[in-house]
Amino acid sequence: MKEEVTVNWKLWAAAALVVFMAVGCGVKKTAVTIENAIGEWDIKELKIKDAAGVETVLEPLAAEGTVILQLAAGAYTLNAKDEEGYEYKVAFTVAAEPMTVAVGFNNCLSFEETTTVADGVYWSGSGDGHIRIVNALGDYAIYWVNIVEAGGDIYWDSTEYCQSIIVYEGEELNILLAPGTYDIQIEDVDGDTYTRYGVEITRDPYVWEVTLDDIDAFDAMSEGSAPVTIVNGLGSYDIWYVYCDLSSSPWGNDRLGSEILYAGDSYTFYVNPGTYDIKCEDVDGDTYTIWGVEVPASGYTWNVTLADMD
CA distances from 306 to 85, 155, 220, 234 (A): 46, 22, 26, 6
Three-state DSSP at 243 gives strand
Q: Comparing C-alpha atoms, which of 129, 229, 128, 123 is closest to residue 167?
A: 123
Please give the Cα distance from 27 to 24 (Å, whole number): 10
pLDDT at 227: 87
Identify whether the C-beta of residue 130 lies closer than 8 Å to the C-beta of residue 161.
Answer: no
Q: Which residues of 166-203 are buried (b: 16+ CB within 10 A; e: fewer)?
A: ebeeebbbbbbbeeeebbbbbbbebbbbbbeeeeebee
* Sheet strands side by side (includes 239-246): 239-246, 274-282, 287-295
Q: Which of 306, 308, 243, 254 is nearest to 276 (CA)?
A: 243
Q: Of 211, 35, 39, which is closest to residue 122 (Cα–Cα)?
A: 39
pLDDT at 293: 95
Amino acid 16: pLDDT: 45
Q: Low-confidence residues of the chain, pLDDT below 70? A: 1-26, 217-223
pLDDT for 112? 87
Residue-wise pLDDT tens digits, 157-203: 889 999 889 999 999 999 999 999 999 999 998 878 898 989 999 99
Q: What are phi and psi of 143, to 5 degrees?
A: -100, -30
pLDDT value at residue 297: 85
What pLDDT, in 10s, does the model give residues 249-281? 888 889 988 789 999 999 988 888 899 999 999
